[in-house]
Amino acid sequence: MMPLLIWLAYVVVASQDSARDYAAPRRHPSPRQRRNISHAARNASRAARRFCTGRRQSRDAIVYLGQRTHSSYDATRTITLNASLEMLHANMRRTVEAADVIIFHEGDLDAIANVRMCLLREETGWGPPPWLSEIPANENWSAGYRFMIRFYAVTIWPTLHRLGYQYVMRMDDDSFILSPVKYNVFNDLRRRGAWYAYRTLSRECPLFFGEFVDGFIASVTPKLGNRPPPRGESYCSSTGALAFYNNWHVTKISWWLEPGRARFAEAFDRSNLIFTHRAGDLLFQTASVKLFMPKARRRRYADFTYRHHSIIGGQVAFGGIEAGWRDRDARATLRAYAATFEGVGNGTGTTSDLRVRKCGVQEEVDGPFRPTLYISPALDAAEAHHVPPSFTTAPFCEEQMPRAEFE
Do residues 383 and 389 make contact, with C-beta atoms less than 8 angstroms apart?
yes
Homologous superfamily, domain 44-204+241-299: Spore Coat Polysaccharide Biosynthesis Protein SpsA; Chain A (3.90.550.10)
pLDDT of 17: 40
**Most confident segment among 15-24, 177-186, 233-242:** 177-186
Task: Using the predicted structure, report yes or no on whether residue 9 has a pLDDT greater than 50.
Answer: no
CATH 3.90.550.10 domain residues, the chain: 44-204+241-299
Task: Using the predicted structure, report yes or no on whether residue 223 has a pLDDT greater than 60.
Answer: no
Tens digit of pLDDT for each residue in 286-329?
999 999 999 999 999 999 999 999 988 889 999 999 999 999 99
pLDDT band at 38 (very low <50, low <70, confident <90, very high): low
Do residues 167 and 192 make contact, with C-beta atoms less than 8 angstroms apart?
no
d(CA 57, CA 27): 36
Do residues 361 and 372 make contact, with C-beta atoms less than 8 angstroms apart?
yes
- In this structure, the chain runs to a length of 407
Do residues 160 and 254 make contact, with C-beta atoms less than 8 angstroms apart?
no
Task: Using the predicted structure, report yes or no on whether residue 67 has a pLDDT greater than 90.
Answer: no
Strands 350-351 and 242-244: unpaired
Stretch 88-104: mean pLDDT, rounded? 98
CA dist 173 to 65, 88, 298, 337, 367, Å?
A: 7, 11, 24, 18, 31
Do residues 239 and 290 make contact, with C-beta atoms less than 8 angstroms apart?
yes
Name residue 116's beta-bridge partners.
Answer: 102
Tens digit of pLDDT for each residue in 171-194?
999 999 999 999 999 999 999 999
Q: Residue 130, Cβ neighbours under 10 Å: how many?
A: 7
Scanning 272-392, the segments in alpha helix (DSSP H) are 273-277, 281-292, 330-340, 377-384
pLDDT of 26: 42
Lowest-confidence range among 147-151, 182-186, 280-284, 367-371?
A: 367-371
* 244-245-248-251 Cα dihedral, nearest 10 degrees: 20
Residue-averaged pLDDT of the chain: 86
Is 118 in a helix, a strand, or coil? strand
Task: Using the predicted structure, report yes or no on whether residue 75 has a pLDDT greater than 90.
Answer: no
DSSP state of 222: G
Helix %, strand %, coil % for the chain, to 5? 40, 20, 40
